[in-house]
Structure 1
Amino acid sequence: MLSAAGFGASPLLIQLAVQHFPPWTLGALRSALGLPLLLIAAGLLGRQRRPDAHDLVTALVGGVLVVSIPFVSMAAGMQYIPSGMGGMLYTTMPLFTMGLAALFLKDEPATLEQGIRIAVGIVGVLLIAGPGLIADGLGQAGLGAALTLISPLSYAAGNVWFRRRRKMQPMILAALMFAVGTVTVWPAALLIDGLPQVQPSAAVIASLAALVVLATVAPNLLNYALVQQAGANKAALAMFLMPGFSVVFGMLFRGERLPILAFVGLALVIAASAARLPRRWRTRPQRS
């Protein structure tokens, strides 16, 4: 629950922080400030294996897919849509992972079950984002939904990348990816946004600190502990609890109200990602 609450708070905290920092600058700050905290956590967890060249390549590509792109695109998208909707859209990550795995992983081929689940999930995404796209096209709401969806898509691509690579120690991988995020996003932030023009008030510092500590580093550490104690499958349930927290936080702190279609779409996305169909539909289609 704590892990899900931390992840669920991220859309709201991103929405608050992006009022003070442009998206590229916020993404750079989020990765740069989270890096030392992850290094400290890695040190406290005991001796870590020194990464080799293979590990560095894994972290380099993973850092771009899991840190650089999601941090910036999520910040950009949350300028235009309610935070609760941002949490709902991020729940599409397992759905994207399933589709990309079928395309790029030989040991996870496409099945009839996957095709049905992906189709149902796409309908769910359309119900969540569709009203904004129809009403506003690629205006503010439509653009926000499109930018936000880049985050779970990129994260899913990162999951598939990790599946193809040798396993690494999670804390070292996380720290290296945040280092990659810092190095890759900062130059673009300086080029696109320029130097930060923000007065370091208490509200600015609080929103940034809450985003980095409560919605970035803490849920990652909690998720790491959850995987160790309960396994990866049970840890993945946090992703399905995340939008509930996002909606509640948006209602409490921003007065948000989402259309009923968004909740129907969320239910379809969760069902598509987690439900199991009859065994006869789980086999790979036979070629004629």
Structure 2
Amino acid sequence: MPTPLLLILSAAGFGASTLLLGLNVAYFPPWTLAALRAAIGLPLLIIVAGLTGPQKLPTWHDVVTVVAGGIFVVAIPFVSMAAGMQYIPTGMGGMLYATMPLFTLGLAALFLKDEPATLEQGIRIAIGIIGVVLIAGPGLIADGLGQAGLGTALTLISPLSYAAGNVWFRRRRKMQPFMLSAGMFLVGTVAVWPLALVIDGAVQVEPTGYLIFILLALVIFATVAPNLLNYALVQQAGANKAALAMFLMPGFSVLFGFLFRDERLPLIAFGGLALVIAASAARRPKALRRRAM
């Protein structure tokens, strides 16, 4: 598949997640929706892992990697995004999720010895924080910890947790990616499902065709498929090219929100998103990098 098409499909899949979360959370409480998302995605990832060839038995080191990854990358983000999307527009959710590379940059500087903090990183993080304030600020100022403010705060937990997972993986020995993903979904299911039963209780929902469709669309087209596409993009074009999907994602979130929910976002949010992307993706000119070496 051509690289540009892989990039667009990957970004579109990630971008559709906020729309589909918003549609699903109208029927399923957040903890239940997160549990269903992980539980339905798990067998799909097991099948994919099996199709990629024989899998090695995990070591205790791998088990620890998977357990922590399942909490940071599946359990916490799935719950917090579902909870946040009850209160904020689709496009806003996509913009807030796009802060993940910025959080990764900051956490890597704090916790990775081989990626020490530099003046350049400090400037980029400061610019990115201003961008986050511009995106989240209007809702927080207008509503405090009311619905919009709460939704913004809950949604920001997701990219922060995902960034923590990225830093965790950077410190661990590499694993076969689909085996890692399947293991994390297993951990997410086991961690979230009991809490969903306690917090949400038994959810009485009539399984209509529409409801089954939007739930499967969330799992297949907005969770499993974009991750597989992004993995293929990394293999084909490299990690830097694949990272562009995260920066394109908010555009698709805004587009889907406009087309399917008639949403409008303030211009200041787009300015904030531009600052976040610039802070996350900026690189010094080659001449300056040579002088620093």
Shorter-normalised TM range? over 0.9
Aligned match for 2:271, one of 253, 264, 270? 264
Matched, 1:18 2:17: no
Paired amino acid for 2:42: L
**What SS does structure 2 have at the residue aligned with 1:100?**
helix
Matched, 1:132 2:139: yes
Query: Superposition pairs for residues 1-288 of structure 1, below 5 Å?
Result: 1-278=8-285, 279=288
Distance 1:42 1:196 in 2: 32
Distance 1:137 1:282 in 2: 47
Deviates more, 1:41-50 or 1:263-272: 41-50
Distance 1:256 1:221 in 2: 29
**What SS does structure 2 have at the residue aligned with 1:236?**
helix
Distance 2:291 2:50 in 1: 43
Q: How far 1:154 sits from its partner (Å)?
A: 0.1
Paired amino acid for 1:202: G
CA RMSD of aligned residues (A): 1.4
**What SS does structure 1 have at the residue aligned with 2:56?**
coil
| CA deviation map 1:122-153 (0-9, x unaligned) | 00001011001000001011100000000000
- Structure 1: any 5+ residue segments left out of the alignment? none
Asked if the contact 1:112–1:282 (Cα under 8 Å) also holds between the matched residues in 2, the reply is no
Asked if the contact 1:129–1:145 (Cα under 8 Å) also holds between the matched residues in 2, the reply is yes
The verdict on how the C-alpha distance between 1:249 and 1:281 changes in structure 2, with shifts beyond 3 A counting, is farther
Asked if the contact 1:112–1:283 (Cα under 8 Å) also holds between the matched residues in 2, the reply is no
The verdict on how the C-alpha distance between 1:282 and 1:269 changes in structure 2, with shifts beyond 3 A counting, is farther
Q: How far 1:282 sits from its partner (Å)?
A: 9.6
The verdict on how the C-alpha distance between 1:268 and 1:48 changes in structure 2, with shifts beyond 3 A counting, is same
The verdict on how the C-alpha distance between 1:5 and 1:250 changes in structure 2, with shifts beyond 3 A counting, is same
Distance 1:90 1:200 in 2: 30
Identity %: 78
Corresponding residue for 2:4?
Answer: none
Paired amino acid for 1:178: F
Distance 1:73 1:182 in 2: 15
| CA deviation map 1:15-38 (0-9, x unaligned) | 000011000000000000000000
Asked if the contact 1:111–1:283 (Cα under 8 Å) also holds between the matched residues in 2, the reply is no
Deviates more, 1:3-12 or 1:46-55: 46-55
Distance 2:290 2:149 in 1: 35
| CA deviation map 1:28-87 (0-9, x unaligned) | 000000000001111111122221111010000000000000000000000000010000
**What SS does structure 2 have at the residue aligned with 1:47?**
coil
Distance 1:148 1:282 in 2: 40
Asked if the contact 1:33–1:212 (Cα under 8 Å) also holds between the matched residues in 2, the reply is yes
Deviates more, 1:158-167 or 1:228-237: 228-237
- Structure 2: any 5+ residue segments left out of the alignment? 1-7
Distance 2:214 2:124 in 1: 38
Q: TM-score, normalised by structure 2?
A: 0.95
Asked if the contact 1:113–1:282 (Cα under 8 Å) also holds between the matched residues in 2, the reply is no
The verdict on how the C-alpha distance between 1:105 and 1:201 changes in structure 2, with shifts beyond 3 A counting, is same
The verdict on how the C-alpha distance between 1:274 and 1:195 changes in structure 2, with shifts beyond 3 A counting, is same
**What SS does structure 1 have at the residue aligned with 2:117?**
coil
| CA deviation map 1:234-254 (0-9, x unaligned) | 111100010000000000000
Paired amino acid for 2:45: L
